[in-house]
Amino acid sequence: MKFNTVIVRFGGEIGIKGAWTRKTYEKLLLRNVKNTLKHHNVPYENIIYKRGRIYVKTMEASKAASTLTKVFGVSSTSPAVETISAMESIIDKSLELADETLTNGSSFAVRCRRTGKHPYSSMDVCRIVGKQILTKFKNRNINVNLKNPDVTVNIEVRDEKAYVFKETFEGVDGFPLGSQPKIVALLSGGMDSAVACWLVMKRGCPVIPLHFDVTPFTDKRTIQKAQDVTRALFEWAVGFPRKLYIVPHGENLRIFQEEAPKKFTCILCKRLMYRIAERIAEKERAEGIVTGESIGEQASQTLQNLKVLNEAIVNYPIHRPILGFNKTETEEIAEKIGVLEIATRKSMGCKAAPKKPATKAKLEVVKEVERKLPIERMVEESFRAARIVEI
């Protein structure tokens, strides 16, 4: 059966917004859907927006349906065949689908949803279509199983149209990208920051990834990972700027190593990263900074240390979407979003990290250490040395 349409369903949270917000979000989603189809070379004849859904008319419905699960704000998609809502047409298309999908001995169910005015109820549709299928394919030993069928014939009746389909692909829900302002993301190339980044994207924030290149304290594989992770994340951001900031940070680390107590290296390094990120956020008119820190995951991420890190900047909030995640929970998302393999690729860890890092740094002590260092100059020079790579 040739599917000619994709039903694109919107996330529930969009539907409960007030009229004006909902309209804005839906428009944005429509634009993101179009850009994504174009980017993946999926041809379509038309896109119709109706009552909180999008219908994409395309002869490549399966490809379009799976591609569009990567658009934030989409809750699910189904390749479907569109017909008119007359009962005979529904029966015709349903029989066609059943013919293709029911093999000998398989069980099936018919499910129907309906909105609009029709001379039948959705229960009627299920009953009538079910009966027709049983009669027509009697010789295939098929049976009805409403709980756990091998094949489901889905019918959605919407006003004068009806859609028949067998599959639904899950989307990731959330809000359309661009419905919130930009955010600067500290992106290491590792798994945690990649997942953190994706989570804020899911809520509508376009990200500006920022990577600190700590060569010679690491090797070239790290920067490559950061670029590859960024590319994978941008698969979720079709139509948005594709730039990655790279800031040379090796010289800064060398200064910390040589001129400050070793146990503070990581804390000083992070505080400096935040300060530079703040400058880039200002320049980009972003509204926040996101990191992949989670409580206790690294020595620098104890609650006491996070407090010391936070104090480094005041003009921008630091958002830590995976603060309470276990490693396995982060991994699960990393896998789902296509960054796990890249982010766990082998690379040289940061060689500037001390053997015995401070786990309960005191703010006053850290500030005292910083007073003896040319922090402002370091921020300024690093900011000026930042380069942008198009991904």
Note whether 193 binds ligand ATP by CB under 6 A: yes
Note whether 188 binds ligand ATP by CB under 6 A: yes
Note whether 297 binds ligand ATP by CB under 6 A: yes
CB of 297 to ligand ATP, least distance (A): 5
In angstroms, rounded to a whole number, what is the distance separating the alpha carbons of residues 216 and 53?
Answer: 52
Instruction: Pick from 75, 291, 302, 305 the residue near ligand ATP by CB under 6 A.
Output: 291
Note whether 293 binds ligand ATP by CB under 6 A: yes
Query: Of 222 and 252, which has the nearer Cβ to Mg ion?
Result: 222
In angstroms, rounded to a whole number, what is the distance separating the alpha carbons of residues 373 and 337?
Answer: 41
Note whether 212 binds ligand ATP by CB under 6 A: yes
Give the closest residue to 185 by CA, choosing from 72, 288, 270: 288
Query: Of 188 and 301, which has the nearer Cβ to Mg ion?
Result: 188
Q: Are 230 and 201 contacting, i.e. CB atoms less than 8 angstroms apart?
A: no
In angstroms, rounded to a whole number, what is the distance separating the alpha carbons of residues 34 and 268?
Answer: 45
Query: Of 164 and 280, which has the nearer Cβ to ligand ATP?
Result: 280
Note whether 292 binds ligand ATP by CB under 6 A: yes
The item of Mg ion, ligand ATP, none sharing an interface with residue 297, based on CB under 5 to 8 Å by kind, is: ligand ATP
Residues 181-200 that bind Mg ion (CB under 5 A): 188, 190
> Which pair of structure tokens corresponds to residue 18?
């007030």
Give the closest residue to 184 by CA, choosing from 228, 247, 267: 247
Note whether 186 binds ligand ATP by CB under 6 A: yes
Give the closest residue to 230 by CA, choosing from 386, 337, 328: 337
Binding mask 234-273 for Mg ion (x = CB under 5 A): ----------------------------------------
The item of Mg ion, ligand ATP, none sharing an interface with residue 193, based on CB under 5 to 8 Å by kind, is: ligand ATP
CA 90 to chain centre: 36
For CA atoms 318, 324, 325, 327, the dihedral sign is positive
Total residues at interface with ligand ATP (CB under 6 A) = 19
Query: Of 94 and 222, which has the nearer Cβ to Mg ion?
Result: 222
In angstroms, rounded to a whole number, what is the distance separating the alpha carbons of residues 288 and 205?
Answer: 10
Instruction: Pick from 71, 214, 309, 369 the residue near ligand ATP by CB under 6 A.
Output: 214
Residues 222-261 that bind ligand ATP (CB under 6 A): none
Note whether 82 binds ligand ATP by CB under 6 A: no
* Burial of residue 305, with CB atoms counted within 10 A of its CB: 0-12 exposed, 13-18 middle, 19 or more buried: buried
Query: Of 71 and 306, which has the nearer Cβ to ligand ATP?
Result: 306
CB of 267 to ligand ATP, least distance (A): 10
CB of 199 to ligand ATP, least distance (A): 12
Per DSSP (E only), the strands in the chain are: 5-10, 46-50, 53-57, 74-84, 107-115, 143-144, 151-158, 161-165, 169-170, 183-186, 207-213, 243-248, 289-290, 318-319, 387-390
> Which pair of structure tokens corresponds to residue 104?
């000998």
Note whether 130 binds ligand ATP by CB under 6 A: no
Note whether 357 binds ligand ATP by CB under 6 A: no
Note whether 291 binds Mg ion by CB under 5 A: no
DSSP string of 248-305? E-HHHHHHHHHHS-GGGHHHHHHHHHHHHHHHHHHHHT---EE----TTSSGGGSHHH
Strands 207-213 and 243-248: parallel
Binding site residues, Mg ion, CB under 5 A: 188, 190
Binding site residues, ligand ATP, CB under 6 A: 186-188, 190-193, 210-212, 214, 273, 291-293, 297-298, 300-301
